[in-house]
Structure 1
Amino acid sequence: MSLFWAGILVDYWVGYKKIPRLEKIKPNIDNVTLDQTTISIILAAKDEEKDVERTVLSLLAQEHIHVEIIAVNDRSSDRTPDILHRLSLDHARVKYVNIPHLPEGWLGKNHALHQGVKHASGEYYLFTDADILFEKDALAKAYGYLVQERADHVTAAPDLRADSFWLRGLISFFLFGFGYLKRPWTANQTNHKGGMGIGAFNLIRKECYESIGGHEAIRFRPDDDLELGQRVKRHGFKQRLITALDHLSVEWYPSLPAALRGFEKNAFAGLNYSVPLALVAISGVLLSQVAPFVLLFISPFEIQIISGVNILLLFCLYALTIRSLTMYSIVYVLGLPLFALLFVYMLTRALILTWIRGGIDWRGSRYSLKELKKHFKDSEED
């Protein structure tokens, strides 16, 4: 096990060094015709009255680049449509699109973004969420980097704000596990494998988006952002993943209970809707990331030494994840076994609820597991 974690640590160390930080990227703006390029920013909002106005205003404040904002109201029951409509009246660059009903065969967010594209006139699309805050130079720098790299798609990881200790722990542990499950740095390799897409920031060339089938090709994928990025790689386009912790921020979930509910839609999707794979994931976390801490106290001396080495390697991996993908204190590494148990609870809860319900509840609609599996298989084969 120690050799396994040592290999993963080397992979992490090399991999994370290949993910540029937006704050350190200095594209040659003089060679980028920012003022002649229109970027259509498309966001889908459902019951986002708390955050959507701040998000739209931060997008309108983007400097050195021309944007239009396609703000799609996805069947909201709060004040979201009123806010978006008012913003469209006050700002000529904001187009308001209202969706009162969800057609069969679509997930709500995917359908909303698909409809938003129909109103877009830009040469590039930026898909983002309705609760992201952008620094003024975020989009210009990211677009400049896309042009400089001759890329078709740039996706950026934001700062995931969280107020509670346990929520930060769950988020950081999720990112830790996501690292060795998906190896996000493969997005920056020149091949057709891997790929990455992050809902907070998916900047994509129009021709690329159309070639991979757009959101219609992933109309029933709850992991739409990730699948969009993976399709970019599978179809041979050039992709770049960056971190933008100083330029993009979002309160991913307001509380731990909200996070547990939110993970319900993605937990099974991330495991390919496979019960055996889910059981392997749960047992793997318990054996590899909880058991060493138990064995450290109850085992013979030789086993304690091995467990201590494994724990040290795990701490190094966790610290590398925290430093690379979050703004959290490195002290959170000390909570690793507790966060691992919390993650196991979250995953087990999500799987049981998905199985009992026969599907997932998302954005006010229920989708059957049978239908989700079918569309998952279809999109993977495409």
Structure 2
Amino acid sequence: MFWVFFGLLFVWMILLVDFLLGIRKIPRLEDTVPSQTDELVSVIIAAKDEEDAIRETLHTLLQQKNVRCEIIAVNDRSSDRTGEFIDETVASYSTIRAVHINHLPDGWLGKNHALKKGAELTSGAYLLFTDADIRFDEQTLAKAMTAMKVDELDHLTAAPNLEAHSFALRGLISYFLFGFGYLKRPWTANQKKPRGGMGIGAFQMMTKSCYQKIGNHEAVRFRPDDDLALGQKVKASGFKQQLVTAKQLLSVEWYPDFKSALKGVEKNAFAGLNYSIPLSLFALFGVLISQVFPFIFVFFGSPAVQIISAINILLLFCLYGLTTRSFTNYPLGMIFGLPIFALLFVFMLGRALILTWVRGGIEWRGNRYSIKELKQFFRNSEEDHR
């Protein structure tokens, strides 16, 4: 194991330097001084069975200052009172429009279809795609519009504060961000090169012309990771994109409980690994070897292996701590749970892959999608991307 851990040292050092250089390129939206704008922003929300959150989301959007906005609230085949609550709000405010969808066409994921239908009804030159469980500070849209104007952006996406009410959920979220950071390198959104790119479903603001030129949500209609895929389309098409953090301006309870988190991983696991079985297995064993084994061999290996394991752990803690501090409001003490969270991730990913394989696809928002269809669409979109 000595040579394995020795090789990992260089990997973690390279990733740590890359992160330190990259994170400096991600500004805080909170630091933007908002200015009044007469431009109309069209906010599109896709909601399915969101009766517990939709009213608060709409309320916080209605409280926005120094900005003109219209809200298109799309009720996507909800079986609870979501549609009713949207209609109640529409009756009181002229700036909100309700759209009710009762049928999902073939070849579409529900959320993507709902966002497209909402976008078709917009009047603004700027669009904001967001989720039905986001809480907005009253200056969020004004600050975002100011950033769009000052930096002449085509696309602005913002990372919110991800709330969690249990240690396990906070650990899962912080670990996901840790892995996402070194795999996807989100700061590439703010580089001039067309590679990379970023999109976060909680907040994606773009010009309508940009949205139309990249093919709207039709271009990502069958992608469970539609937000990331849309952001990458923007970047690959040569538009100017920026990723910001907005932990004081946006907040969302990513998953209300551990069971919901398991369901979410089922949806996104294969998509994030390009629907590849070999890549998925590599990810599982890679996490075990690089992020669990050092914590074992630091106690049970030979003296040389113990030393190299300890250095690996130190580098892991540094990278994990920087990610946690940059993208969450969680206490830095979370880093000491790293091996536990890594094992939890291995369990969840393994479970998701097995279920996807057994079912022959994923289940999401009351629909089942075959892995064959998903893989074919992914291949086609990758060819178009090239």
Task: Provide TM-score, normalisation by structure 2.
Answer: 0.97
Q: Is the 8 A contact 2:32 2:146 kept in 1?
A: no
Counterpart position of 1:171: 173
Counterpart position of 1:351: 353
Counterpart position of 2:12: 5
Question: What amino acid maps onto 1:175 in structure 2?
Answer: L
Task: Provide TM-score, normalisation by structure 1.
Answer: 0.98
In the aligned structure 2, how far is the partner of 1:262 from the partner of 1:281?
18
Q: Which moved more, 1:16-25 or 1:174-183?
A: 16-25
In the aligned structure 1, how far is the partner of 2:179 from the partner of 2:168?
16
Overall identity of the aligned pairs, in %: 60
Q: Deviations over 1:256-305 (max 9, x none)?
A: 11101111110100000000000011111000000100110111111111
In the aligned structure 1, how far is the partner of 2:264 from the partner of 2:205?
24
Counterpart position of 1:278: 280
- Deviation at residue 215 of structure 1 after TM alignment: 0.2
In the aligned structure 2, how far is the partner of 1:355 from the partner of 1:149?
45
In the aligned structure 2, how far is the partner of 1:349 from the partner of 1:99?
32
Counterpart position of 1:180: 182
In the aligned structure 1, how far is the partner of 2:149 from the partner of 2:344?
42
In the aligned structure 2, how far is the partner of 1:162 from the partner of 1:258?
12
In the aligned structure 2, how far is the partner of 1:333 from the partner of 1:218?
35
In the aligned structure 2, how far is the partner of 1:118 from the partner of 1:233?
22
Q: Are 1:192 and 2:162 matched, yes or no?
A: no
Counterpart position of 1:247: 249
In the aligned structure 1, how far is the partner of 2:21 from the partner of 2:113?
38
Counterpart position of 2:227: 225
After superposition, residues 140-151 of structure 1 pair within 5 angstroms as 140-151=142-153
In the aligned structure 1, how far is the partner of 2:77 from the partner of 2:94?
23
- Deviation at residue 26 of structure 1 after TM alignment: 3.1
Question: What amino acid maps onto 2:259 in structure 1?
Answer: P
Question: What amino acid maps onto 1:8 in structure 2?
Answer: L
Counterpart position of 2:3: none
After superposition, residues 324-339 of structure 1 pair within 5 angstroms as 324-339=326-341
Counterpart position of 1:106: 108
Q: Is the 8 A contact 2:49 2:82 kept in 1?
A: yes
Q: Deviations over 1:65-107 (max 9, x none)?
A: 0000000000000000100111111100000000011111111
Counterpart position of 1:153: 155
Counterpart position of 2:138: 136
Q: Deviations over 1:13-54 (max 9, x none)?
A: 111111111112336x2xxx61x2000000000000000000
Paired residue for 1:84, among 79, 83, 86? 86
Paired residue for 1:316, among 306, 315, 318? 318
In the aligned structure 2, how far is the partner of 1:256 from the partner of 1:118?
36
Counterpart position of 1:210: 212
Counterpart position of 1:14: 21
In the aligned structure 2, how far is the partner of 1:343 from the partner of 1:57?
35
Question: What amino acid maps onto 2:81 in structure 1?
Answer: R
Q: Secondary structure at 1:352's aligned position in 2?
A: helix
Question: What amino acid maps onto 1:17 in structure 2?
Answer: R
Counterpart position of 2:164: 162
Counterpart position of 2:4: none
Q: Secondary structure at 2:292's aligned position in 1?
A: helix
Name segments (4+ residues, structure 1) moved above 6 Å. none
Q: Deviations over 1:313-340 (max 9, x none)?
A: 0000000000000010000000000000
In the aligned structure 2, how far is the partner of 1:26 from the partner of 1:66?
17
Aligned residues between the structures: 377
- Deviation at residue 7 of structure 1 after TM alignment: 1.1
Structure 1: give runs of 5+ residues left out of the alignment: none
In the aligned structure 2, how far is the partner of 1:304 from the partner of 1:94?
61
Question: What amino acid maps onto 1:23 in structure 2?
Answer: E
In the aligned structure 2, how far is the partner of 1:110 from the partner of 1:215?
6
Q: Secondary structure at 2:108's aligned position in 1?
A: coil
Counterpart position of 2:374: 372
Question: What amino acid maps onto 1:335 in structure 2?
Answer: G
Paired residue for 1:341, among 335, 340, 343? 343
Paired residue for 1:49, among 45, 48, 51? 51
- Deviation at residue 361 of structure 1 after TM alignment: 0.6
Computed over aligned residues only, the root mean square deviation of the Cα atoms, in angstroms, reads 0.8
Q: Is the 8 A contact 2:224 2:267 kept in 1?
A: yes
